Amino acid sequence: MDRYVDFSFVRERLKTFTAPWAAPIDPEVLLRLLLVGYLYGITSERRLVDEVRMHLAYRWFTRLSFNQEIPDHSTFSKNRHGRFRQSGVFRKVFEGPIVFQFPLFPRNILRDRPEFTDRLIPFLKKLSDRKFAIEIRNRAWLNAEFANLLGDHGIARVLQDRAWMPNPSELDFDPITADWIYIRWLGDRREIEAQTMAVVDRTAELSRWVDFCYQVMKRGVLVYAYANNHYAGHGPATIEQFRNLWRGKGLPDIRTQQRLRQEASLSD
């Protein structure tokens, strides 16, 4: 989390919620301290102070050296119920897409895609304006009609890299159904569990995904991506390899999160 999440935004976000006479406690430090409590189930603010005081890893994450005093437990309560809640700062940290994952439906459960979409459409109409994505695992259901349905409701389609699902280059329709996409590099669980000495080499596949993501970003589409350990043996290493391949192709820095110029289609 520390490597991939920039928490510095909290200072600007809370600027208007801080009284000029307030004690100069770094809001990023407070946010990191509260995150330690949330992530590790430390519900008592007094206990959180004690844990951070004695735990080296917690101090490293919160940027508190051993000669720095930890804020009083009452400070956490005042900020959590006060300016942190008013500014929506926690929502910004955890704000992101919500993915609805549907299993591979056998015909005795759902006969075909129309039967699935007949049940899906009423559900889509009830969704709020947050980012939502749909993941289906029935390959035969993926066509332009299904993509248009998701596009009409502003829903992104999850793109998966797994054995039986098509790669975007295999599709005869535009897989982009919203102004963002969600990619899941999942791989084959049985294949990776059979490995005893080395991980699966996914360089070729990831290189193609780099090219695809670059074309998508040129259209102004925001890209979310996820890799599990079954894809190549270690999820974080997969993400790092993707980033290295991206840099190796001389593409714009993806950490800037700046959208590239609009393009008409993936083939441009």
End-to-end Cα separation, the chain, in angstroms = 35
Residue 245 · residue 210 · CB < 8 Å = yes
The C-alpha atoms of residue 203 and residue 77 are separated, in whole angstroms, by 48
Residues 104 and 203 in one domain: yes
Check whether 74 has a pLDDT greater than 70. Answer: yes
Please give the pLDDT value at position 194.
Answer: 62
Beta bridge partners of 158: 182
Residues 57 and 173 in one domain: no
The residue type of 39 is L
Where helices occur in the chain by DSSP H, the ranges are 9-13, 27-39, 45-54, 56-62, 73-81, 83-87, 89-94, 113-124, 144-152, 189-193, 203-218, 229-232, 235-248
pLDDT tens per residue, range 133-192: 999 999 999 999 999 999 999 999 999 988 788 888 889 999 999 999 999 998 766 666
The C-alpha atoms of residue 215 and residue 222 are separated, in whole angstroms, by 11
Note whether residue 140 is domain-resident.
Answer: yes
- Can you give the residue range of the structural domain that contains 153? 98-256
- Which of 47, 70, 93 terminates a domain? The answer is 93
pLDDT tens per residue, range 12-28: 766 665 554 455 577 78
Please give the pLDDT value at position 212.
Answer: 95
Residue 48 · residue 37 · CB < 8 Å = yes
- Which of 65, 93, 121 terminates a domain? The answer is 93
Beta bridge partners of 99: 133
pTM of the complete model beyond 0.75: no
